[in-house]
Amino acid sequence: MKLLVVNANTSQVVTDKVAAEARASAAPGSEIVAVTGTFGGRVIGSRAEHAIGEHSTLALVAQHATGCDAVVIAVSYDTGLRAARELLDVPVVGMTEAGLLTACMLGGRIGVVTFGARVLPLYHELVASYGLAARIAGWRTLESTAAYQQGAHAALDAELVAAANDLVERDGAETVLLAGAVMAGVPARLQPQVSVPLIDGIACAVRQAQLLHGLALPKPRAGSYAWPAGRELVGVDPALAAAFAARR
């Protein structure tokens, strides 16, 4: 199986982390193709950057998805997920959607730890759009930027463990999602210090993408996820324009 992992951030550090976890999580013999945004925010942290990132996601899938069996959106706002599902004929899985749905199958109420109070409303809206707001036990936000740097980060690890355990003890969380592409690989390392399952969105997304590929269900031919037919695009990446033109 060939899996495309799309990071619309322009940070190669993030791509390297999600690619490493994707390779660790994928079935033996899988090929992982990880790509990084070429324009937009270094790390998406606002509504405006998220909007630019959606364009970037579509450009990346148009350029790289040919020959791939599934796509994982490796941005924790699931940036461009719905549009990519409309445009492609292979499964497209968002890392936060996958993490939340996996958490639902492991316990009751879900705690979420992420970075930056500024973007918390984006997460609230994303979770609500999945119909899962009632499943959230609580939220914790950290302001550290250490995760976006190479190397070990003992102080950040301690903060993450403390936040997760606080969600368990004070909010009754029965699973905890460490939200953020830069958190790829971290939950498994910290799991021994937390008493409930720690969820890694990238690990869940990779496995769910492989499950959907194996089910071999068809692309919808009706509804809003059918191919956008008869549309002409002007001034966009040639690969993206060609992806639309191919369905006209």
Q: Identify the structural domains of the chain with CATH numbers, from first to last.
A: 2-94+204-245 (3.40.50.12500), 97-201 (3.40.50.12500)
Q: Are 201 and 193 in contact (CB under 8 A)?
A: no
Q: What is the pTM of this model?
A: 0.94
pLDDT, residue 228, reads 86
Query: CB 75: neighbour CB atoms within 10 A?
Result: 28
pLDDT in the model for residue 244: 81
Structure tokens at 94: 């968002």
Q: Which residues contact 166 (CB under 8 A, 6 or more apart)?
A: 140
pLDDT digits (tens, 9 = 90+) for 140-179: 999 876 666 665 678 889 999 999 999 999 999 999 999 9
Chain centroid to Cα 114, Å, comes to: 13
Q: d(Cα 104, Cα 213) in Å, to the nearest integer?
A: 22
Phi and psi at residue 57, to the nearest 5° = -60, -45
- Structure confidence at residue 246 (pLDDT): 67
Q: State residue 247's pLDDT score.
A: 64
In which residue ranges of the chain is pLDDT below 70?
Answer: 145-152, 246-248
